[in-house]
A and B are shown apart, each in its own frame.
Chain A
Amino acid sequence: MTNTLLKLEQINTHIEQFHILHNVEFEVSPGEVTVLLGRNGAGKTTTLRTIMGLNNASNGTVTFKGEDITKLPPYHIAKKGIGYVPEDQGIFYGLTVGENMRVGMRKEDDATKERMEWVLELFPDLKKFWKKPGGQLSGGQKQMLSIARSYVNENDLLLIDEPSKGLAPVIVEKVIESIEKMKEKTTVVLVEQNFYMASRLGDRFYILDDGMTVHHGDMSALREDEELKRKYLGIA
């Protein structure tokens, strides 16, 4: 087996009649945090949704753990060990915090219970709001819940879409810490506009522009490359 956990080859995705992704190439090595960067509308979310099977690739292949998962439905892909934290906080407003946490549990074994305890230590606030409906949480609390829930299942890969969106700096710091800890257990693909966060967490980066992968490499290289940052990320 190659040392690749996830591989996208020549991925093209259409949403209705619009051609959004053009021959996207993307590779993730186990144990690393791969950051997906790019301007608004570059196709980052669409890439994650295509991996998850929520959008269907019109051609190209997605390989996960050596297996072609391109045509599988989302529930099947999730069961293979991919967790997804969507960008608009994937929680359910009609369920309480506790129910939200539990609805995400695919198994009820000891390992899952252990992880649940670990997550609650990481985000003690959740316990405080345990019985509150998801819809009544603040934006930051929703985000935390959504991230926390994705930690509960045993996944080999986590796809996290802009976790820092709308969060106060203190909370961003907390989310960074939690992802750092999560990194010991799973591989992470992180979509992030917040360059500070991206550069702290990322081992490797990909830049998408107009639905195409235009650059990739080690995060350390990107930190130095002012030109690249200016050109694609609008960071001076």
Chain B
Amino acid sequence: MIKTIQKSTWIYIAVAFMLVLLPFFKDERWFLFLMIQVFTFGIFAMSYDLLLGYTGIVSFGHAMFFGLGAYSIGITLNFLESTFMNLFLGILLALVLGGIVAFFAGILTLRLKSHYYAMLTLALASLFLVLAEKWRSVTRGSDGFTFRIPELPGPLQDHRNLVVYMFCLVSMVLIFFGLRRLTESPLGKILVAIRENEGRVESLGFRIMPYKVIISVVSGVVASFAGVLYAISIRFVGTNVFGIDVTLDALLMTIIGGVGTLVGPIIGAGIIEFAHHYLSDLSDVHWIFERWIILFGIVYILAVIFFPAGIVGTLWHKLAKRKHKKQEMKQKTSDKLAS
């Protein structure tokens, strides 16, 4: 049987294509850089959505995976020669480390009530932050360090930002389709069921733990990769990658965009990153704009009150309602014809 391609897939592909063309129309450095941030945080927020939206696991320390990825690539390229081989090695290291840490965090806490996972991840992230600050010989402590990325062949070197842009964009698109496939697979359906009621899933004959651990590992690996992209894009790693605001950003992006939608977190990342950018200009206007955390609180409260399902979630509801109405109309007319 040939699987019909969903209508939404075409829309996503079209949008991705426009994003490919975008830098040829608007190629200012700051803009490219901002878009790269959107892509990397889009990936990061999607990994957060896997936990929060699809499985109902709350993590307060998701930054640790992001930070692990960033430091893995940074340290590898800083201590070894900056070649493509080592770039690849650094990415591999990041993915493996992210997976291992997620695996153990999952095994340790996912059998307990959900807030234990939230607290353990928070504690672990703080631990990594301390480690990054104290292990100065490798991490340069809170100063952080810059590193070089491998030289691109020939004329590409002159368009390095463009290449990074494309790399991040392609990564985001591939990860999006991969994760969408995962969430629409039978495994994904079981995850949704677990989020709703673990006891029910268990009495259907499924062990919960393996599913939770699997998704925790997938999420950790993806988050770590986001950290890699982030570090590559700014060619610098500092302790801020382990900071709580990285986690909070992911949380906000997911909630604003729409929990459990995957595309929502990407849109959320777009909104938050652009908001960061423009609001930092506003700090001359009023001090409140300097304090991202204050704004975060306000936006968070507003989002939860007015958009509990997020932008994408709200849109889907509206569309579903309209479709439903149409179907009812059809039903009515056919009933009339029948009688």
A binding-site residues for B, Cβ under 8 Å: 52-54, 73-75, 77-79, 84, 86, 90, 92-95, 99, 102-104, 106, 153
Where chain B touches its partner, the secondary structure class is: helix
Measured between alpha carbons, how far is A79 from B205 in the docked complex, in Å? 5
Residue in B189, B200, B201, B208 whose beta carbon sits within 8 Å of that of A99 in the complex = B189
- Alpha-carbon separation in the docked complex, A90 to B262 (Å): 27
Find the B residue at minimum CB distance from A79.
B205
* Bound Cα distance A99, B189 (Å): 7
Q: Which of B186, B190, B202 counts the most chain A CB atoms within 10 A?
A: B202
| CB-nearest residue of chain B to A159 | B203
Q: Does B276 contact A (CB under 8 A)?
A: no
Q: Determine whether B279 belongs to the interface, using a CB cutoff of 8 Å to chain A.
A: no
How many residue pairs link A and B with beta carbons under 8 A? The number is 56
Residue of B nearest to A82 (CB): B203
**Residue numbers in A under 8 Å from B322 (CB-CB):** none
Q: How many residues in B have their beta carbons less than 8 Å from beta carbons of A?
A: 19
Given contacts A75-B204, A94-B195, A99-B189, 7 further A-B contacts (CB under 8 A): A73-B202, A75-B203, A86-B203, A90-B200, A93-B196, A94-B192, A102-B186
> What are 15 of the A-B contact pairs (CB < 8 Å)?
A53-B203, A54-B202, A74-B202, A78-B202, A90-B200, A92-B193, A93-B196, A94-B192, A95-B189, A95-B192, A102-B186, A103-B186, A103-B201, A103-B204, A106-B204
Task: Say what secondary structure dominates the interface of chain A.
Answer: loop
Question: Which residues of B sit under 8 angstroms from A77, Cβ to Cβ?
Answer: 203
Q: How far is the CA of A95 from the CA of B207 in the complex (A)?
A: 19
Residue B199 at the A interface, CB < 8 A?
yes
Contact A95 B193, beta carbon cutoff 8 Å: yes
Taking CB atoms, residues of chain B closer than 8 Å to A86 are: 200, 203
Beta-carbon contact of B186 and A74 below 8 Å: no
Complex: how many Å from CA A153 to CA B203? Answer: 12
CA distance A106 to B201 in the complex (A): 11
Complex: A78 Cα to B205 Cα, angstroms: 5
Shortest distance from the beta carbon of A7 to any chain B beta carbon, whole Å: 20
Residue of B195, B202, B203, B207 most packed against chain A (CB within 10 A): B203
The answer, yes or no, to whether B278 is at the interface (CB within 8 Å) is no
Identify which of residues 155-200 in chain B touch chain A, using a CB-to-CB cut-off of 8 Å.
186, 189-190, 192-193, 195-197, 199-200
